[in-house]
Amino acid sequence: MTTTPTPPHSLRTAAEPDTVPDPPPGAPDLHETDGHQPLRRDGDLLLTGRARFVDDIAPRGLMHAAILRSPHPHALIRGVDATRARERADVEVVLTGADAVDLATPLPHFFEPSIVGCRTTEFRCLATDRVRWVGEPVAAVVATSLAAAEAALDDIVVDYEPLPAVLDADEALREDAPVLFEEWGDNRLGLFPFAEGDAAAKIAAAPHVIRDELRVGRQHVAPMETRGYVAEWEPGGRLTLWASTQNPHPLRTNLATTLGVPEDRVRVVATRMGGGFGHKFNGYGEEPLVCLLSRLADAPVKWIETRKDCLLVGAREFTHRFEVGFDDDGVVLGLSDRIVGNIGCLAPWGGWSMTFPAGMTFPGPYRIADYAIESVPVVTNKAPWNGFRGYGKEQAAMALERIMDLVAEHRGIDPAEVRRRNFIPPEAFPFWTAAKHLDSGEYAAALDKALALAGYDALRERQAAALAQGRHLGVGIGFELTPEGGDFAGSFVRGFDTSTVRVHPSGAVSVLTGVTSPGTGNETSIAHLVAREFGIAVEAVGVTQGDTDSCPYGFGNFTSRSLATGGAAAVLAARELRERMADAASALLDADAADFEFRDGAVVSRTAPETSLTFAELAETIYRRGLAAPGLDQPLLEVTRIDLPHNFHHVPDDQGRFSAYPSFPYSAHVALVEVDAETGVVEVLEYSAIDDCGVVISPGFVAGQLYGAIAQGIGGALWEEVPYDEDGAPAAETFKHYLTPRAPDLPSFRLEHQHTPSPFTLLGTKGAGESGVGGAMAALLNAVNDGLRPLGVHAHRVPLTPPVVLDAIVSGGAP
Amino acid sequence: MIRTHLRYHRPDTPDDAAALLAEHHGRVAVLAGGSQLLPRMHRGEVDLDHVVDLRGLGLRAIERTGGRVRLGAMVTYDDALASALLAEAVPLLPRVARGVTGGRQLTGHATLVGALCHAFPGTDMPGALSALGATVELHGPDGPRECPVDEFLLGAQSIDRRPGEFVAAVTVDGVARSGYCKVKHATGSWPIATASAIEDGDALTVTLGAVQARPLRIVIPDPTRSAVDDAVAAAVTAPWTDVLAPGDYRARIAPVVARRALTELREGAHA
Ligand SMILES: Cc1cc2nc3c(=O)[nH]c(=O)nc-3n(C[C@H](O)[C@H](O)[C@H](O)COP(=O)(O)OP(=O)(O)OC[C@H]3O[C@@H](n4cnc5c(N)ncnc54)[C@H](O)[C@@H]3O)c2cc1C
């Protein structure tokens, strides 16, 4: 089977200018980072526990839903008998898969696999004739209390005929494996190839070759707040869904389609989010299901995901089989990696598509002319994936960084030096690879800063001294290139977004934007940008997100694009309003419009500062006298803009190269660990990192993202895993089993920043949010292996839990 | 969500408590701190109609009885940490309590006896109490009964508790010199292996917890490395496997944990 990841040409974005427009006269320099940022909006509410989340929504007459899930990894459903459940006095509705078929169409995919040449199939909100994973929804109950709804689940009898299941991706690829979707013939969802040059020939001719394998276990996002939906389907036909979701507008569109309701009669409100990270991309069956249940119950209905159900959603289970050829100096001559992603069962959730960036991100920050990467998504009878911060890019970081260290070890060269010899040099940008048009970068400079911050040479000395005492310290470098802001035409995963800016007569300003906040503080940054354009206090700017009744259509929150898209759109809208207001000031004060600057809450003539109006006076005058007074010709103080397309290359060039991501932040990490060689326990002792995400609007929020990304990366590298038992059920059901890092597990991080602006984005920003996850995973992977070096073993199985590390040590010799 | 209609009882005397437990046997649980019981009820793992709260019985004292020390069933980890008597007479218990995670939200209400009765292999208390030669004082419809802890712990999440009985207290030996070691993956992890080392006159013992379904008390004839390793290796015959670690991992690290507990016994705690 051959597939191509390139979107059809007809879906290209119209304009692809490579340059950013000049700012209008008097506008603030967008690339200037003064280090000042306003306090996080609602920070006080969050800190004092008064912020409201979806579970706080309780309309009058609220009822509660519980969902019956499959106990089998693979089975036919021969029948469902819900008679006894329906007879319970406190039960309002029981809905089975068969009942739901007539009430809802198949679910639209978050990301339709066929857009990128993959196989696809249809899914319903409840399984009808077959279940393919433990936890797949089979029936739902609405009752007057959650306890009653859960209790009623025991009274639904499902007649299952178990089928053979397959949990391992390699086994799923065997010819005799049980096939999940019979019409496909096998379990391969697709194939994403990324290649340039002739890797096989270069590897064959290389003086040195390493072949190895890296395995990453199934991991999970673990948001503090699980998913949840509250639906209220009013008798008049209007439907409101409060949802902890990252994509309120696409969710509304999909609800309209699935439920057959005019889109404008559906309102989705994305409630404040207690963690998203991709877990709350839309596409879940529970979204339309809870709406249907509300209609059937004739009452508002709430469903909140339990922690156990939350832990069903997977990510990151990959195997890399790589081969690298290199010369005496450690310069890589050819590279191949065959990546297999165990995506669990396919679902309308979009997580399977993480297998695309997993391959696309190669060869990362390195100039490798000849490489051949294949990423193969494989379905199994585990629960499906949804997005997980890093989105597959962390896979490339781990594999590439491990390869750099293996090359260094082989040649006896310092691992930092091997990286310097392979980096893309600063003068080579913009730089093309098979599927990326890299914007800008000073990679070696960032690495050198990270080494200095870590005191790299001193670390090596401490390592040697410790070893003399029988202690195994390990120093690990991780360098991560993080493609951000992806645009996938044909889906609702788009690279642009929309903002409306409205100036009220009082001088208050509203921003309504299509990007949502997962809790990162982007609403504060957007307010800051708009306030800066108008020269007014940030408190005067309100930001509304996530309510489809009031906000312009937008795609929500993913791939670290909020500021580059929604923020830039708001700046463009504010600039247009500023021009209108400057024109009005010009008419009212009889001065040249270009002469006005907006500062300190006023519109002031630069040449004659006594000629001025306050911002509020000007706004009010435009409303009161627009179209009546001479020169006040444009009284509309509301503008909606999208940000410009920037650095997207959807149409392959003459060499077949394309680029679906516009910006490429990166980060350099150095970790110091101690490996307890008797128990395999790894302690993280020190951590330093440099990030470069171009221009920074809010340094505190960027640092916050990096802190979180590093913590998440360390957790993924060392502890986080959802194993499956022999019966095909996930074995980690609580946070005593799924081990995310806690404060005592982490050292305090030393962070510094480098700023290489993107020449392609309005703000010069590159996206900050995911960057750091992969770098941390790679740094820890290398640090642990560095600690194991004196023992002559490698550990290439992530997470590097104590049993994994001790296994490697006990296995002795052969890594 | 707790799915059943629950009746909450708070008896004032041990006999009333025993009577309630006997009356509703099979549909009732003892409620101590509730830190295991309530989450399990929420997850639908236990299905009950009654809970009997022991708070009305005044079982929260730590006191000397003859040569031993008695801890009431409602003594929490925080109580153990604050007790001058334990610090002096049985320092192993506060030492263990210090390493229990969950923060103040847990340590302020979770009880040592509750942990013992939960009898989950991957925890601290069963091993530590076994090391101290604890005696479990039960109270039932026929009055009090005593049971050595090693007989009380029947297996993973299985205890010798007869219909109507609850644990009123445990008594332990006063042991001034002890050492403890716990290995786990990360802060949030259940203990993977624990060892309590105790010196009683000339006798040296190490009690392993979390390594098998029940604690393993091992007499250490000779504290040299190889002798300890051999004694432990011989004793560990059926290592416990759970989500976090396979049995062979526990078997591998058991001697290490034993040695480290002995080192702490000899040199004092560093942490
Ligand atoms: C966040 C968290 C972190 C934890 N960390 C650790 C750790 O680091 N190490 C560790 O070892 N443990 C740990 N635990 C487990 C903890 O030790 C136990 O949950 C706690 O001690 C149980 O005591 P409880 O009083 O809350 O018991 P409960 O939940 O009230 O009861 C537990 C069980 O014992 C029964 N029971 C209780 N008391 C009696 C009695 N007197 N007579 C008869 N039956 C009784 C109950 O019916 C129930 O079945 C942790 C738990 C949590 C929630």
CATH code of the domain covering residue B224: 3.30.390.50
Same domain, A510 and A569: yes
B-contacting residues in A 377-396 (Cβ below 8 Å): none
Same domain, B122 and B157: yes
Q: What average pLDDT does range A783-787 have in this prediction?
A: 98
Q: Best substitution site from B100, B137, B153, B208 to test ligand 1's pocket, by max atoms within 8 Å of Cβ?
A: B100
Q: Which of A722, A734, A801 to mutate to test the interface with B (most CBs of B within 10 A)?
A: A801
Is the shortest distance between the CB of B115 and ligand 1 below 6 Å? yes
Q: B252 at the A interface (CB within 8 A)?
A: yes
Same domain, B64 and B115: yes
Q: How many domains does chain B have?
A: 3
Of ligand 1's listed atoms, the one at least distance from the Cα of B100 is 8
* The token pair that represents A409 in the structure block: 């070890």
Residues of chain A with C-beta less than 8 angstroms from the C-beta of B186: 718-719, 739, 741-742, 745
Q: What is the pLDDT of residues A524-553, one digit of tens each?
A: 999 999 999 999 999 999 999 999 999 999
Q: What is the pLDDT of residues A375-408, one digit of tens each?
A: 999 999 999 999 999 999 999 999 999 999 999 9
Q: Determine the Cα–Cα distance for residues B183 and A788; give it in Å rounded to an integer.
A: 20
- Considering only CA atoms, which residue is closest to atom 21 of ligand 1? B115
Same domain, A205 and A352: yes
Q: Tell me what percent of chain A is helix, strand and coil, each rounded to the nearest 5.
A: 30, 25, 45
Pairing of the two strands A228-233 and A301-304: antiparallel
Q: What is the pLDDT of residues A570-627, one digit of tens each?
A: 999 999 999 999 999 999 999 999 999 999 999 999 999 999 999 999 999 999 999 9
Q: What is the pLDDT of residues A493-518, one digit of tens each?
A: 999 999 999 999 999 999 999 999 98
Q: Rounded to the nearest 10 degrees, how much is the dihedral formed by the CA atoms of A29, A31, A34, A37?
A: 100
Q: Is residue B196 part of a domain?
A: yes
- Considering only CA atoms, which residue is closest to atom 28 of ligand 1? B34
Q: Is residue A46 part of a domain?
A: no
Same domain, B164 and B241: no
Element (H, E) at B84: helix B84-89
Of ligand 1's listed atoms, the one at least distance from the Cα of B32 is 30
Q: Is residue B1 part of a domain?
A: no
Question: Residue A721 corresponds to which amino acid?
Answer: E
CATH code of the domain covering residue B152: 3.30.465.10
Q: Is A645 a residue whose pLDDT tops 50?
A: yes
**Please, are residues B91 and B176 in contact by the beta-carbon 8 Å criterion?**
yes
Q: Determine the Cα–Cα distance for residues A221 and A227; give it in Å rounded to an integer.
A: 12
**Please, are residues A599 and A593 in contact by the beta-carbon 8 Å criterion?**
no
Q: B2 at the A interface (CB within 8 A)?
A: yes
In terms of C-beta density within 10 A (0-12 exposed, 13-18 middle, 19 or more buried), how is residue A75 classed?
Answer: buried
Same domain, B165 and B189: no
Same domain, B61 and B120: yes
* The token pair that represents A566 in the structure block: 């929604």
Q: What average pLDDT does range A656-664 have in this prediction?
A: 93
pLDDT of amino acid A812: 78
Q: Are A719 and B186 inside 8 Å of each other by CB?
A: yes
CA nearest neighbour of A472 among A670, A669, A671, A682: A682
**Please, are residues A486 and A707 in contact by the beta-carbon 8 Å criterion?**
no
Question: Residue A117 corresponds to which amino acid?
Answer: G
Ligand 1 center–CA B166 separation, angstroms: 14
pLDDT of amino acid A80: 98
pLDDT of amino acid A560: 85
Same domain, B46 and B92: no
**Regions of chain B where pLDDT drops below 50:** 271
pLDDT of amino acid A12: 34
Same domain, A297 and A401: no
Q: Is residue A168 part of a domain?
A: no
Q: Is the backbone of residue A13 left (phi > 0), alpha (psi -120 to 50) or beta?
A: beta
- Residue in the structure block whose two tokens are 């493609």: A483
Ligand 1 center–CA A281 separation, angstroms: 37
Of ligand 1's listed atoms, the one at least distance from the Cα of B37 is 29
Of ligand 1's listed atoms, the one at least distance from the Cα of B123 is 11
CB pairs under 8 A between A and B: 72
Q: Is residue A31 part of a domain?
A: no
Single out the residue in B148, B173, B198 at which a domain terminates. B173
Same domain, B49 and B61: no
Is the shortest distance between the CB of B135 and ligand 1 below 6 Å? no
In this structure, how many other beta carbons lie within 10 angstroms of the beta carbon of residue A811? 12
pLDDT of amino acid A20: 65
Q: What is the pLDDT of residues A723-781, one digit of tens each?
A: 999 999 999 999 999 999 999 999 999 999 999 999 888 888 898 889 999 999 999 99
- Tell me which residue in B101, B186, B252 faces A741 most closely, judged by beta carbons: B186
Omega of the bond leading into B255 within 30 degrees of 0 (cis): no
- Which residue of chain A comes nearest to B122, CA vs CA? A736
Q: Is residue B237 part of a domain?
A: yes
Q: Which of A145, A309, A739 to mutate to test the interface with B (most CBs of B within 10 A)?
A: A739
* The token pair that represents A172 in the structure block: 């799923």
Q: B154 at the A interface (CB within 8 A)?
A: no
B-contacting residues in A 394-453 (Cβ below 8 Å): none
Q: How many domains does chain A have?
A: 3
Of ligand 1's listed atoms, the one at least distance from the Cα of B29 is 47
Same domain, A632 and A555: yes
Q: Determine the Cα–Cα distance for residues A209 and A418; give it in Å rounded to an integer.
A: 15
The domain in which residue B231 lies consists of 178-267
What is the ipTM score, two decimals?
0.96
- Considering only CA atoms, which residue is closest to atom 48 of ligand 1? B37
Q: Is A38 a residue whose pLDDT tops 90?
A: no
Q: B226 at the A interface (CB within 8 A)?
A: no
Q: What is the pLDDT of residues A281-326, one digit of tens each?
A: 999 999 999 999 999 999 999 999 999 999 999 999 999 999 999 9
Q: What is the pLDDT of residues A83-139, one digit of tens each?
A: 999 999 999 999 999 999 999 999 999 999 999 999 999 999 999 999 999 999 999
- Which residue of chain B comes nearest to A679, CA vs CA? B253
Q: A329 at the B interface (CB within 8 A)?
A: no
Same domain, A575 and A710: no
- Considering only CA atoms, which residue is closest to atom 53 of ligand 1? B35
Q: Is residue B2 part of a domain?
A: no
Point out which residues pair with A605 in neighbouring strands.
A596
Same domain, A230 and A95: yes
Q: What is the pLDDT of residues A179-192, one digit of tens each?
A: 999 999 999 999 99
User: Which positions ≥6 away from A284 have C-beta within 8 Å?
Assistant: A227, A348, A349
Single out the residue in A260, A290, A310 at which a domain terminates. A310
pLDDT of amino acid A28: 72
Same domain, B159 and B80: yes
- What value does the CA radius of gyration of chain B take, rounded to a whole number of Å? 18
Single out the residue in B158, B173, B188 at which a domain terminates. B173
Q: Is residue A742 part of a domain?
A: yes
Q: What is the DSSP string of A419-479?
A: HHHHBPPGGG-SEEETTEEE----HHHHHHHHHHHHTHHHHHHHHHHHHHTT-EEEEEEEE
Element (H, E) at A613: strand A612-614
Single out the residue in A615, A643, A671 at which a domain terminates. A643
Q: Is A359 a residue whose pLDDT tops 70?
A: yes
The per-residue pLDDT of chain A, averaged, comes to: 94
**Please, are residues B181 and B208 in contact by the beta-carbon 8 Å criterion?**
no
CATH code of the domain covering residue A507: 3.30.365.10
Same domain, A619 and A742: no
Same domain, B156 and B212: no
Strand segments (E) across A328-454: 332-342, 371-378, 431-433, 436-438
Residues of chain A with C-beta less than 8 angstroms from the C-beta of B101: 742
Residues of chain A with C-beta less than 8 angstroms from the C-beta of B249: 680, 802-803, 806-807
Return the percentage of chain A with pLDDT > 90, whole number.
89
Q: What is the DSSP string of B100-123?
A: --SHHHHHTT-BHHHHHHH--SSS
- Tell me which residue in A146, A743, A801 faces B1 most closely, judged by beta carbons: A146
Cα separations (Å) of A91 from A88, A153, A355, B226?
Answer: 5, 10, 42, 65
The domain in which residue A328 lies consists of 192-220+313-487+661-811
Same domain, B61 and B168: yes
Residues of chain A with C-beta less than 8 angstroms from the C-beta of B258: none
Angstroms from A731 CA to nearest CA on chain B: 6
Element (H, E) at B194: strand B193-200
Predicted confidence band of residue A34 (pLDDT cuts 50, 70, 90): low
Q: What is the DSSP string of A554-597?
A: ---S-TT-HIIIIIHHHHHHHHHHHHHHHHHHHHHHTS-GGGEE
Q: Rounded to the nearest 10 degrees, how much is the dihedral formed by the CA atoms of A170, A176, A177, A178?
A: 170
Q: Are A147 and B4 inside 8 Å of each other by CB?
A: yes
pLDDT of amino acid B271: 45
Kindly list the strands in the beta sheet with A602-605, ordered across the sheet, starting from the edge strand earlier in the chain. A596-599, A602-605, A612-614
Q: What average pLDDT does range A459-486 have in this prediction?
A: 97
Same domain, B158 and B225: no
CA nearest neighbour of A565 among A662, A481, A696, A693: A662
Q: Which of B2, B3, B46, B242 to mutate to test the interface with A (most CBs of A within 10 A)?
A: B3
- Tell me which residue in B1, B39, B252 faces A810 most closely, judged by beta carbons: B252
Q: pTM (2 decimals)?
A: 0.95
